[in-house]
């Protein structure tokens, strides 16, 4: 079966091929599916990433390390890594999900990647083997190298806005999706950010809810003067 070509991509050969197949089986395909493996893989991935961050940033506080981990294990990042190994070619989906192009959905690809990590642990019974594979998949990925570069580990826009509002004792910002555009497998989200600090709502547009939220938070920060826009910076 073609799914076994995936072993070459992840650099691991399964002893029990049924575990590999199970990790690739979406609930739309069968009543016996990969969600338990996904649950396990999520925990293992968080452990391995946390361990890496803990030792690499030995002088950093918990909040900093939490942000780095969130940037590495969020669904969008998992989706990009899944794309790198062309995981969409190997997922087992029901006909209804195939018609909806489920093999390109961020959530399905990200969840399946976690299931594979869980499956490798069950098959190998060796956390060090899983750790070695995760390091190859995650830390050789160009974007993750940037995240792990100390110079690039600044707070994200949502965090900056939230911490500022807490500091001046105002309610936290509210984000809500005002519009969705495009096909389901490649939707564009329009998110609006509402705060008590300014009588105006700012919107952000992105290929995920999280990206759009960050952009709307950024526009709010620019307006209240906490950060500068690139346009204004160039003028100076």
Q: What positions carry a catalytic annotation? A: 42, 114
Cβ–Cβ < 8 Å for 216, 202: yes
């Amino acid at each position: 079966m073609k799914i076994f070509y995936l072993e070459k991509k992840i650099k691991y050969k399964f002893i029990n091929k049924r575990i590999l197949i199970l990790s690739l089986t979406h609930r739309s395909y069968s009543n016996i599916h990969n969600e338990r493996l996904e649950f396990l893989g999520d925990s293992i991935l968080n452990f391995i990433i946390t361990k890496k961050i803990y030792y690499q940033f030995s002088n950093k506080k918990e909040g900093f390390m939490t942000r780095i981990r969130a940037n590495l294990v969020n669904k969008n990042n998992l989706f990009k890594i899944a794309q790198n190994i062309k995981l969409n070619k190997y997922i087992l989906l029901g006909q209804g999900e195939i018609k909806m192009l489920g093999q390109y959905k961020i959530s399905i690809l990200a969840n399946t990647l976690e299931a594979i990590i869980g499956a490798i642990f069950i098959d190998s019974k060796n956390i060090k083997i899983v750790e070695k594979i995760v390091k190859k998949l995650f830390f050789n990925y160009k974007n993750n190298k940037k995240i792990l570069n100390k110079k690039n580990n600044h707070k994200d826009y949502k965090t900056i806005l939230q911490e500022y509002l807490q500091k001046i004792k105002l309610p936290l910002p509210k984000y809500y999706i005002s519009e969705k555009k495009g096909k389901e497998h490649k939707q564009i989200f329009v998110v609006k950010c509402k705060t008590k600090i300014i009588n105006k709502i700012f919107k952000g547009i992105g290929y995920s809810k999280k990206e759009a939220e960050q952009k709307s938070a950024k526009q709010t920060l620019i307006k209240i003067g906490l950060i500068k826009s690139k346009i204004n910076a160039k003028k100076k």
